[in-house]
Amino acid sequence: MSNLDTLTQKIREKAKSLLEGGQADVVIGYRTGTVPLMAAPFFARTPQDCDQLVWSSFARLNLANYLPGRTEKVALVAKGCDARNAVGQVAENQYPKDKLFILGVPCSGQVDAAKVAAKEPRPIQTSEETDDSIKLTGPGYSTDLKKEDVLRRNCLTCAHRTPTLANELVGPEVPSLPTDDFSDLTALLAKSSEERLTYFKDLIKDCLRCYACRNACPLCYCPVCFVDETRPQWLGKSTDPMDTMTFHLLRGLHCAGRCTACGACETACPVNIKVREFNRVLDKTVKENWSYEPGLAWDQKPPLTVYQPNDPADFIK
Amino acid sequence: MSEFEPKVVAFFCNWCTYGAADLAGVSRLDYPPNFRVVRLPCTGRLNPKFIMEAFKRGADGVWVSGCHPGDCHYIAGNYYARRKFILLHTLLESIGVDPNRLRFSWISSAEANKFQAMARDVIEHVKACGPNLTFRKAELQLDLPEVA
């Protein structure tokens, strides 16, 4: 039995016992998606439902997104990043800790559909995976891809692959990877300001402003998002690139110090924009200035809600 | 052809820099008239939206000024603001906005001379950057009034 099947079995068993024992009203997990290379979010409310739960390398969406405002007791099937977001939501008073059960899944990385499409441009009808490869089939062909070649970029620098604060882990811990050292960003920041502006403008030139990145993000739970505000209307509704830029900058700032690099935004993006690039600039700053990483403790205060009297800010004259 | 006169949007805290501007005025201190002041109750009120709005509508520069750390009228507003400024400053500089277009300063209501010097310095730096053509809306005349 492959490692993935073992995890699936364990998730189902545990989900059943949580629902039967009344510790959870709903188990939020994944089931096999209706399209290849995608696992769909699934709410299991009865023990029978639990047989649909699966674990795969296509579980790219962040299920912590479903927590804010929910009144039932939730058991959350969570990767390392999702678990950190759930902890963050508890810290931000969006969901009570005593109602939450984090069913942690040690994660060895999720597959990037865009990378797969780059390697296999033909239409894909089915995808099956083993522990280290993915078998794709389409009209008149079948091919194998090595999983490590098509992992998402945030998964390649993940320091918390095993959930840090899970109530229970369904599998053995996976070794951590070296953290994101922002080396590509450092190279970018060494360029001239004109080049950087061009880079960031080009990055978002395809943006449709569908706000899928916002909807997929577990940090975005405001009742009224700034993009929907109308009086005053801070974000213009035009297709002007500056409006798009404003959206990405403000979105980045709202997530600053709270982003766990789960990559749900990039997964949700229909035009494959690396939207996390803005967040990474800020993550780097947050880390350098306040050595803060989100979601590692229940009572952690987000960095913008606290201050130090001697916060260094030499640029303020 | 006359020299380029920049338009700078200034966000001043009511309790310090705004007072300093007033003091500079009654003291007959001469400073450039290129900035338009928005009075805030505290720099903690400054939302990054405001800065983006100014640039979007064609401002050539933005100047934010508040009370020295420790002097906040509301005890700690400028400490929180400072953390926001750190992120905002880094983000805008990183994506390629000329750092000379964005200025943060601490000026108390007694520092009329510092205000005068800073005002001259801000306008000088923004002048050196030239008109803001890259970090604003392409069409300013939509239905939004240009920053007057």
B127 touches chain A (CB under 8 A): no
Helices (H), A21-109: 80-91
Low-confidence ranges of chain A (pLDDT < 50): none
| Chain A positions in Cβ-Cβ contact with residue B118 (cut-off 8 Å) | 317
Q: How far is A317 from chain B (nearest CA, A)?
A: 4
Q: What is the pLDDT of residues B21-54, one digit of tens each?
A: 999 999 999 999 999 999 999 999 999 999 999 9
Residue B13 burial (C-beta neighbours within 10 Å; 0-12, 13-18, 19+): buried
**Which residues are CB-neighbours of A102 under 8 A, at least 6 positions away?**
A75, A76, A78, A83, A86, A87, A163, A165, A166, A167, A168
In a domain, B41, yes or no: yes
Ramachandran assignment for A295, one of left (phi > 0), alpha (psi -120 to 50 degrees), beta (any other): left
**What's the total number of domains in chain B?**
1
Q: B137 contacts in A (CB within 8 Å)?
A: 236, 238, 240, 242-243
ipTM: 0.91
The reported pLDDT for the residue numbered B147 is 60
For residue B147, being part of any structural domain is answered with: no
- B139 located within any domain: no
- pTM, rounded to two decimals: 0.92
pLDDT computed for residue B146 by the predictor: 59
Q: Is residue B23 part of a domain?
A: yes
pLDDT of the residue at B141: 58
In a domain, B144, yes or no: no
pLDDT tens track for A98-107: 999 999 999 9
- Domain with residue B38: its CATH number is 3.40.50
Structural domain includes residue B143 = no
What is the tens place of the pLDDT at every residue in A189-222? Answer: 999 999 999 999 999 999 999 999 999 999 999 9
Distance from CA of A198 to the nearest CA of B (A): 8
Partners of B61 in the β-ladder: B8
Task: Give the pLDDT score at A290.
Answer: 92
Question: Cβ–Cβ of B83/A307 closer than 8 Å?
Answer: yes
Quote the domain boundaries for residue B58: 8-129
Count of Cβ atoms closer than 10 Å to residue B118 Cβ: 21
Question: Is the CB of B139 inside 8 Å of chain A's CB atoms?
Answer: yes
Which residue of chain B has the CA closest to A305?
B80
Query: Residue B94: inside a domain, yes or no?
Result: yes
**pLDDT given at position B22:** 95
Position B144 pLDDT exceeds 70: no
Joined together, the tokens standing for residue A61 give 């969406």
Q: Is B2 a member of any domain?
A: no
**Token match 């008109």: residue?**
B131
Where are chain A's structural domains?
A: 1-179, 181-309
